[in-house]
Amino acid sequence: MMSGFSRSRAAGLLAGAALLTVAACGSGTAETTGSAATPASEAKPEVVAAFYPLQWLTEQVGGADVQLTTLTAPGVEPHDLELGIKQVSDIQNAALTVYIKGVQPAVDDAVAADKSFDAATAVTTLPAGEHAEEEEGHAGEEEHGHEEIAYDPHIWLDPSRLATVASKLGERLAAADAAHAQAYKDRAARTAAALGTLDQEFTKGLSTCKTKTLVTAHEAFGYLADRYKLKQVGITLDPETEPSPARLSEVAKIAKAEGVSTIFTESLVSPKVAEVLASQVGAKTAVLDPLESKPSGDYLSAMRDNLKTLQTALGCTA
C-alpha cells in the first residue's frame, strides 16, 4: 500500500536534522530563517503542509503571516513521499505541521504531537474502503509495522468537511501566533464561506443525476459520495495496489448492472486498468482529480472542474 519509512529511520533523520540545525545557526537568509535582517520579534511562524490540499488551505488561512513549506512537490503522488533530512528539519523547526494521518506514513512518523495538526481530527471520518481488509491482507508485509488507520483519510474531497478544518486551522494558527490571531480567524472564516459556496454548488449540481454510481481508479471519493448521496465503487483501495482479477470482475458486474457509462481515471495514476475495465463494460473514461497534487489552477477551480465532469458522466440535469 502506501510507502514510507520506519520509525527508526525517522528518528535517525531527526537526529541528523538537529545537528544540521545547530551547525547552520545564524547562517540562513532573512527570507527563510528570520536572521539578522529580520528581528526575531518580526519573524513569521514556520508552517509545514504535508501535501497540496493542506497547502492550499494553509495559504488561505495563514496568508502573509506565515512562512509556508510544502513537503510534497507538484506531480508527486503523496502516498509515495519519503522524507529527506531537510524535510525532517523543516518539520522539526516548524511552529505547526498540517497533515492527515494515514496519507503519508513518513510524515506520520516525523511529526511531534504538540506541534502538529492532524486535519482528520477536526471532522467526522468515514470507515476505510469497502474492500480494505482484502487488500490490506495482500500488502501487510510491505507496511513494515506502520500503524494502520481504520478511516478513509481523503477528507478534503468534501468541501463541507474542509470548511470545518479551515476553522480549526485558524484556531491553531492563532494559538501559535497570538500577534496575528484575529487575522487568522478572519481568513479562516472567509475560507470556510468560500468552501460553503462550493458545497452548495455540488449539492445543486448533483441533485438530479441519472446515475449515482462512481467507478473510480481508487477509493478516494468516499467523502464526496457520502456528502452528495452518490455511491463510490473503487477499482482499488489505494493507487499503489493492483486489483485482483476477482475485484475487477466484481466492479465490471456492478458497472454493467447500474448502467455506468464512465470509468474515472486520475492524472497521477496509470489509466491502463481503468481503460481495460471500460472496454469490458462498454464505457468511456474521464479524469476525476482527487487533488492529491497541485492542479493547473487551485483547489476551488479544480473541484468545480470535477463537478462538471461528474455532471456529464452521471447525466445530471441541474
CATH number for 170: 3.40.50.1980
**Is residue 6, in this structure, part of any structural domain at all?**
no
**Is residue 88, in this structure, part of any structural domain at all?**
yes
Q: Which residue has the higher pLDDT, 229 or 16?
A: 229
Q: What integer pLDDT is reported at residue 1 of this predicted model? A: 40
**Is residue 113, in this structure, part of any structural domain at all?**
yes
Is residue 192 located within the same domain as residue 211? no
Residue 48: pLDDT band with limits 50, 70, 90: very high
Residue 147 burial by CB count (10 A; 0-12/13-18/19+): exposed, middle or buried? exposed
Looking at the predicted structure, is the pLDDT value of residue 140 above 70?
Answer: no
218 pairs with which residues across the strands? 236
Cα dihedral sign, 79-85-90-96: positive
- Lowest model confidence (mean pLDDT) among 90-94, 244-248, 266-270, 286-290: 266-270
The CA distance from 234 to 290, in Å, is: 13
Q: How far is CA 12 from CA 15, 109, 126, 254, in A?
A: 5, 11, 34, 48
Q: What integer pLDDT is reported at residue 198 of this predicted model? A: 98
Which of residues 198, 220, 254 is at a domain's end? 198
Which of residues 164, 198, 232 is at a domain's end? 198
**Is residue 285, in this structure, part of any structural domain at all?**
yes
The SS3 of residue 162 is helix
Cα dihedral sign, 61-65-71-76: positive
Is residue 163 located within the same domain as residue 232? no
Give every strand in the sheet of 231-236, ordered side by side. 231-236, 213-218, 262-265, 284-287
Looking at the predicted structure, is the pLDDT value of residue 12 above 80?
Answer: no
What is the residue whose three cell numbers read 529580520?
38
The CA distance from 230 to 43, in Å, is: 46
Residues 94-115 have pLDDT tens digits of 999 999 999 999 999 999 999 9
Q: What integer pLDDT is reported at residue 268 of this predicted model? A: 84
> Mapped to the 3 state alphabet, what secondary structure does 87-142 carry?
HHHHHHHCCEEEECCCCCHHHHHHCCHHHEEEHHHHCCCCECCCCHHHHHHHHHHH
Domain that holds residue 300: 207-314
The CA distance from 239 to 76, in Å, is: 12
Residue 141: pLDDT band with limits 50, 70, 90: very low
Is residue 173 located within the same domain as residue 68? yes
- H or E segment to which residue 69 belongs: strand 67-70
Is residue 69 located within the same domain as residue 193? yes
**Is residue 58, in this structure, part of any structural domain at all?**
yes
Looking at the predicted structure, is the pLDDT value of residue 134 above 90?
Answer: no
For range 133-144, the mean pLDDT: 40
Planar angle of CA 71, 274, 102, nearest 5 degrees: 30
**Is residue 20, in this structure, part of any structural domain at all?**
no
Is residue 66 located within the same domain as residue 158? yes
Number of domains in the chain: 2
Residue 28: pLDDT band with limits 50, 70, 90: very low
* DSSP at 146: P
| One-letter identity of residue 157 | L
Count Cα neighbours of 136 within 13 Å in the Cβ-side half-sphere: 12
Which of residues 163, 198, 233 is at a domain's end? 198
pTM here is: 0.83
Residue 24 burial by CB count (10 A; 0-12/13-18/19+): exposed, middle or buried? exposed
Q: Which residues contact 283 (CB under 8 A, 6 or more apart)?
A: 215, 255, 260, 261, 262, 263, 277
Is residue 194 located within the same domain as residue 69? yes
Q: Which residue has the higher pLDDT, 139 or 271?
A: 271
Is residue 60 located within the same domain as residue 99? yes
**Is residue 36, in this structure, part of any structural domain at all?**
no
The CA distance from 195 to 157, in Å, is: 11
Q: Which residue has the higher pLDDT, 152 or 79?
A: 152
Give every strand in the sheet of 116-118, ordered side by side. 67-70, 46-49, 96-99, 116-118
Is residue 220 located within the same domain as residue 107? no
* Whether the Cβ atoms of residue 277 and residue 248 lie closer than 8 Å to each other: yes
**Is residue 304, in this structure, part of any structural domain at all?**
yes
Is residue 65 located within the same domain as residue 111? yes
| One-letter identity of residue 243 | P
Looking at the predicted structure, is the pLDDT value of residue 16 above 50?
Answer: no
Is residue 159 located within the same domain as residue 257? no
- H or E segment to which residue 54 belongs: helix 52-62
The CA distance from 10 to 111, in Å, is: 10
Q: What integer pLDDT is reported at residue 39 of this predicted model? A: 53
Is residue 304 located within the same domain as residue 231? yes
Is residue 194 located within the same domain as residue 241? no
Residues 174-214 have pLDDT tens digits of 999 999 999 999 999 999 999 999 999 999 999 999 999 99
Grid cell in block for residue 156 = 478534503
